[in-house]
Every structure is written in structure tokens, then in C-alpha cells.
Amino acid sequence: MVETVALRWGHRPRDFRVTTHVVLTARAFGASSVILSDTQDATLRETVERLSSAWGGRFSLKMGIPWRNAVEEWRRSGGIIVHLTMYGENIETSKVIERIRSSRRKIMILVGSQKVPGAFFDLADFNVAIGTQPHSEIAALAVFLDRFYRGKQLQRRFSKARIRVKPSRRGKNLITIEAGTATSARKSL
């Protein structure tokens, strides 16, 4: 699987819930890490670590790196930059996702908030719009990754998980894994 990381720009304390959704979406949809640029948020770190430790997988959350440094470091190590913006090339009507795939390079996805630095548009190798209507960076990130990985990320097993869901038509089935053995439990609703 091609490596993807998301860089979340413009986080403020009042965005806690939205940024949490960004981070968990990145993790669930196959990104290996999220960089929260230019700021720190201890509560966010704690929330994500607790969740990752229970649900498994290799996922890291980095914080406080200035966005320019993160971008430059990414380029130096051979990666490309994709900026998600409603002003970019429409993922549905252009061939932008095929062009991104054919680069065969690891991808940093810039996920902004209301108004991002103008420089994002120029430094990005691809400006990608998930439709041309205003909506949500969480939705944009999810759909980009879902299409980029062709849905395969949704069947990935997360290593070293302590809990897993067993899909079912009704109700909640949680599997608790302890020292190599799994017990299935139907959670009360």
C-alpha cells in the first residue's frame, strides 16, 4: 500500500472535535500518520493514543512541527503533496486520482480548515476537489482515501488490537483479544 500521511493545518482548541474526526478518519482510512502542524494539543494526543492502543495498528500523531518544515522534509524524502480544496481539480470529472497514482510516490495530504495559506495551492503537486461544493475536510479526506485505496483500506486488519468489531446485521459484536485468544461478546445496546 502506498504510504499516506495527512497534515492538518489551522487547528485551534475550539476545533477539538473536528480535528479528532480528521485524525480518526485518517487512521481508519489507511493513513500512517497525522501531523498537527504549528500547534500542540495534549487532550487530542491522549484521545488518539487511548483509541489506537485499544484498536491496534501502527498509527502516529505528530504535533507542533511548522507546516513548511513538514512539507520540505516530506519532499526531501521523496514524497508528493496533495492539497484537498474545493477549488482544485474535481476528483469525479478529472483524471487527477489516476495521475496521483501513477506517480507511485508516497503522499502527504494537506487538510486545511476555513482559510489556508495561499502557498498551499502552489506548493501542492495536485490540488484536488471532492466536488465543487463547500462541505467538510473530514468528508474530503475520507472520500479521497477511499478512492485512492479503492476501498481496500476498509478490510485491513489492525495489528495488536485488543478489541475488534465482528460485523453483523443487528446489534453490536465486539471481540476482545487477550494474549492471543479472542472472546466474542454481544454488547448491550
35 vs 138 by CB, closer to a copy of itself: 138
| Bridge partners of residue 175, in order along the sequence | 164, 184
77 vs 108 by CB, closer to a copy of itself: 108
Residue 129 belongs to what H/E stretch? strand 126-129
Give the C-alpha separation, 37 to 55, whole Å. 25
| DSSP secondary structure string for all residues of 132-162 | SS---HHHHHHHHHHHHTTTGGGGPPPTT-S
Give the C-alpha separation, 90 to 129, whole Å. 5
CB of 106 to a copy of itself, least distance (A): 21
Grid coordinates standing for 142?
475520507
Q: Which residue has the cell 513538514?
A: 70
CB of 189 to a copy of itself, least distance (A): 3
CB of 96 to a copy of itself, least distance (A): 9
CB of 1 to a copy of itself, least distance (A): 14
CB of 91 to a copy of itself, least distance (A): 7
Grid coordinates standing for 146?
477511499
Q: Which residue has the cell 472520500?
A: 143
Instruction: Yes or no: say if 42 and 50 are a contact pair by the CB < 8 Å rule.
Output: no
Residues lying near a copy of itself in the complex (CB under 8 A) = 14-15, 17-18, 21-22, 24-25, 27-29, 51, 55, 86-94, 117-119, 121-122, 126-127, 129-136, 138-143, 146-147, 151-155, 158, 164-165, 167-173, 188-189
29 vs 74 by CB, closer to a copy of itself: 29
Give the C-alpha separation, 180 to 184, whole Å. 13
CB of 65 to a copy of itself, least distance (A): 23
